[in-house]
């Protein structure tokens, strides 16, 4: 979760299985040898050309405990700045990114506009995690 003051960075991405555009936080696969924080830094740069000074893991949850033991790690990024990373979006992904006021995000959750379980679980961890 990339936070900049009272805003967070969200993405809209087309989801093929549900044939709809869903909201999500930037993220992706942890490559071999990476920590969750390193993966978050790389994915944030790849997907949005943004970086941050501080990356802190705030929790994790199982992706789908009935089918896999894969974990999804939640990392908070703060101290945001533009990166010089050469932004090359994946051609199979339709992504648009933007900053959203935290109170607007919470309204969207309450109104049922946010239905992605990983975003909802990540937000719950963010809201309850002690920040260093």
Residues 6+ apart with CB under 8 A from 47: 11, 26, 28, 89, 95, 97
Domain boundaries, the chain: 3-128
Give the model's pLDDT for residue 93. 63
pTM of the model: 0.87
**CATH 3.90.79.10 is held by the domain 3-128:** yes
Answer for the pair 90, 29: CB distance below 8 angstroms, yes or no: no
Q: What is the pLDDT averaged over residues 80-103?
A: 74
Task: Give pLDDT tens digits for 8-51.
Answer: 999 999 989 999 999 999 999 999 999 999 999 999 998 888 99
Answer for the pair 129, 61: CB distance below 8 angstroms, yes or no: no
Give the model's pLDDT for residue 65. 87
């Amino acid at each position: 979760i990339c936070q900049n003051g009272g805003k967070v960075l969200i993405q809209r991405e087309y989801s093929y299985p549900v044939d709809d555009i869903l909201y999500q936080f930037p993220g992706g696969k942890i490559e071999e040898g990476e920590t969750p924080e390193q993966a978050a830094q790389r994915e944030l740069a790849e997907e949005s050309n943004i970086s941050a000074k501080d990356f802190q893991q705030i929790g994790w949850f199982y992706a789908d405990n009935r089918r896999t033991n894969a974990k999804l790690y939640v990392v908070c990024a703060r101290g945001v700045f533009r990166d010089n990373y050469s932004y090359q979006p994946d051609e199979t992904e339709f992504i648009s990114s933007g900053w959203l006021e935290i109170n607007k995000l919470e309204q969207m959750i309450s109104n049922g506009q946010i239905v992605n379980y990983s975003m909802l679980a990540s937000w719950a961890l963010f809201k309850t995690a002690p920040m260093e």
